[in-house]
Amino acid sequence: MTDSLKRLYIVAWIFGLIFYFLDYVIRSAPAVMIPELVNNFNTTELKLINMVGTYYYTYSTCSLIAGIALDKFGGKRSLFIGTLILGIGCLLFLLSSQVAGITGRLLQGAGCAFAFPGCVYLASKGFSSKSLATAIGFTQCIGMLGGTAGQFIVGPWVEQGININSFWLWSGIATVITAFCLFFVIPKEEREKESVDTESNETESKPVGYLEPYKIVFKNPQSWLCGIISGLLFAPTTIFAMTWAVAFFQKDQQFSFSEAAITSAMVAFGWVFGCPLLGFITDKIGRRKPVLVGGALLMILSLLQLIFLPELYPAKISMFILGLGSGAAMIPYSVIKEANPDFVKGSATGAINFITFGVTTLLSPVFSRWFGKSLGTAPGTEHFQNSILFWIVGIILAILISLLLKETGRKSSELPLRA
């Protein structure tokens, strides 16, 4: 690939970051407008939160479709369609109907499934392998800026009485405009059907089928390990911080709405720094596993301080540190690419998204049943502590599973044994 074409892909990646930013704004914003959405859709709080959670049903499953689409049709059409679907999902939230709400949230999840794999796909074509983890970390940084904006900025807007329909209208319009920008900016690709695996010296390989990339990825045990680890590290941010945290801080900890919204938003703000920082460190040292485990341990320490030493420093700082450490959840995205052939890079990202948010989809109703239903009725301090311990157990499990992960960093060949 020529240098000029690589530069075009970097420009396209920048527009992809706008898509990913909007993804996280839309993903996290419902957490700070739950009462307003309850009134809009004429439902209960628990049903509304379950409705919001349907996002992850289509997000996880459509991640597989996104991977296939990127590998078979390239970024231009795939990202255009994904962004357009997200925009339509936002506009459906303007209708005061539970059916429209559920449909809209499902479409939001389906559209957003194309955002991160698309950015990784474009980054992999524009950046060298030496800086790819840093680029992926920066991508997630932009996404979490969107997550921060979805709570930190939208929360005060809602508290000031701004109509939530205005938010969903302009979110939909901005997303549709981004869809057309991506279509015109992403270079037209000639799909490569030959020389699928140059390292194996096969110069005239047959075209890879639609499902063949996933057969390759899912047959690799390392792919499953990457997805499970990432899912367990993502869950405290996607399920707790971006869905339940505002309500938990309000009802269990007696925070005001604005204080609860800002405190929960600090997790996403921590990601803004943690993702590129940990990505840079792992690229710099040429090792993945030490940084992965270190980030997970930082998450555990921040949560333990939050529930057992809350007077040590404010909850905002605790949640910021949690977000900083949870940037480690992005490291398996580099590992899965390095553990699989280059010609399935789009499918590898789709596969890890599927597994990662499959874990989220499974954990969300469990957390809702164990802790969500009793929110506001059980003793506040004890209820809050038990809910946080739930996430600590998941992070510990992620660390244990990471011991089975093979080191794929550039210095892995220097190790006497590949752990």
Q: Give residue limits of the domains in the chain.
A: 3-187+209-411
Q: What is the pTM of this model?
A: 0.78
Residue 256: helix, strand or coil by DSSP? Answer: coil
Tokens 């996002």 map to which residue?
Answer: 55
Q: What is the largest CA-CA distance in the chain?
A: 67
Contacts of 382 (CB under 8 A, 6+ apart): none
CB-facing half-sphere around the CA of 53: CA atoms within 13 A: 24
The rounded distance, in Å, linking the Cα atoms of 378 and 253 is 12
Tokens 């890079």 map to which residue?
Answer: 345
Q: Which two tokens stand for residue 198?
A: 């140059």
Query: Selecting from 1.10.940.10, 3.90.230.10, 1.20.1250.20, 1.20.1440.230, what CATH number does the domain 3-187+209-411 have?
Result: 1.20.1250.20
The rounded distance, in Å, linking the Cα atoms of 324 and 379 is 30
Please choose, from the candidates 57, 262, 40, the residue with its C-alpha nearest in 3D space to the C-alpha of residue 165: 40
Evaluate whether 194 touches 204 at the Cβ level (below 8 Å): yes
- Digits of tens for pLDDT over the chain (419 positions)? 677 788 888 889 999 999 999 998 998 899 888 889 989 888 888 788 888 888 888 988 898 888 888 878 888 999 999 999 999 999 999 988 889 999 999 999 999 999 988 998 888 888 876 777 678 778 877 887 888 788 778 888 888 888 899 999 999 999 999 999 999 999 887 654 444 443 433 434 444 566 788 889 999 999 999 999 999 999 998 888 888 888 899 988 999 888 998 898 898 888 888 878 888 888 888 889 999 999 999 999 999 999 999 999 999 999 999 999 998 998 998 899 888 887 777 678 778 888 998 898 889 889 988 988 888 777 778 999 999 999 999 999 999 999 999 988 777 665 544 43
Give the per-residue pLDDT at 96. Answer: 84
Report the length, in residues, of the chain.
419
Residue 179: helix, strand or coil by DSSP? Answer: helix
Give the per-residue pLDDT at 291. Answer: 94
The rounded distance, in Å, linking the Cα atoms of 243 and 52 is 8
Give the per-residue pLDDT at 155. Answer: 82
Please choose, from the candidates 125, 100, 112, the residue with its C-alpha nearest in 3D space to the C-alpha of residue 26: 112
Give the per-residue pLDDT at 265. Answer: 84
Where helices occur in 186-256 by DSSP H, the ranges are 212-219, 221-235, 245-251
CA-CA-CA-CA torsion for 326, 329, 334, 337, nearest 10 degrees? -170
Evaluate whether 395 touches 325 at the Cβ level (below 8 Å): no
Q: Report how far apart, in Å, the C-alpha atoms of 248 and of each of 42, 140, 256, 419 are.
A: 22, 26, 11, 40
